[in-house]
Amino acid sequence: MLKGNYHTHTFRCGHAIGKDEEYVLEALGMGFLELGFSDHIMLPNFNEENIRGDISLSEDYFNSIRKLSKKYEDRMKIFLGYEAESFPLYFTYYRELLESRTIDYLILGNHSMMNENRKLVSHFSKCTSKADVYNYRDLALSALNSGLFSCFAHPDYFLSNIENIDKETKNLIEDMVSACVDLDIPLEINTAGIRNGKRKIGNTYRYVYPTEDFFQIAAKYNAKCIIGIDAHAPGQIIDEDSLEKAILFARRLNLNLVDKLDFKKF
């Protein structure tokens, strides 16, 4: 059903399981042509236990994925990347990783907001105020316009607890979607939200993500969309039920679905 996946985590983040090679073997079993590892980015001078690995683990991550890439090069393309937040303090570091070819790509996972003292001051899965939503939008646009990111992972993450997606919120969604169209950055339909099932948010039962309100606007703009497995265990690579539901979601909304991620060039 898919040709590849570019949203794959490893045990180093503290909340994923399995050996790196197990993900590769499951992906081969699915007939994937490409697999991108994009663990939560490990950052110098910043720790977030059980969210991202310590910077001391980065060398092992790089070496492991590059070794697997070489081992399986005749069967699959394996890429090395990171899922990173819109932390402007670290944009220079992100660029260094890309320009030095230390990693192949970045995907934007806009989970939280960092202040100038490297302290997290907002977690966007808990957005409840308009200020939170505007902060999400502004940080997302900053990251998208930086030229560093090849994909916007779970772009509707900030809607996780918002009961009423009103016109003002939809206008902010349009800002992000139109930027992705202009910058040729695909929006991710994230199957982790589907695997977790629907829950009651306000008066409706829905997935935390993907959300119809967000992707209806993506359809309106004919924005590129890509399915991301957001795998935190090898077995999630072969979860055909969530993949099928993601594909049906995309078809029902008539989304412009692509099956290959083109990385930004440096």
13-69 pLDDT per residue, tens: 999 999 999 999 999 999 999 999 999 999 999 999 999 999 999 999 999 999 999
State the pLDDT at residue 108: 98
State the pLDDT at residue 30: 95
Which band of pLDDT confidence, cut at 50, 70 and 90, is reported for residue 1?
A: low
Other CB atoms within a 10 A radius of the CB of residue 132 amount to 18
The Cα 121–Cα 119 span in angstroms is 6
Domain boundaries, the chain: 4-258
The answer to whether the CB of 97 falls within 8 A of the CB of 103 is yes
Q: How large is the average pLDDT for residues 142-168?
A: 96
The Cα 76–Cα 218 span in angstroms is 31
Instruction: Tell me the CATH class for 4-258.
Output: alpha beta
Which band of pLDDT confidence, cut at 50, 70 and 90, is reported for residue 2?
A: confident
Q: Report the mean per-residue pLDDT for the chain.
A: 96
Indicate if the pLDDT at residue 138 is higher than 80: yes
Q: Is the peptide bond before 186 cis (omega within 30 degrees of 0)?
A: no
State the pLDDT at residue 82: 98
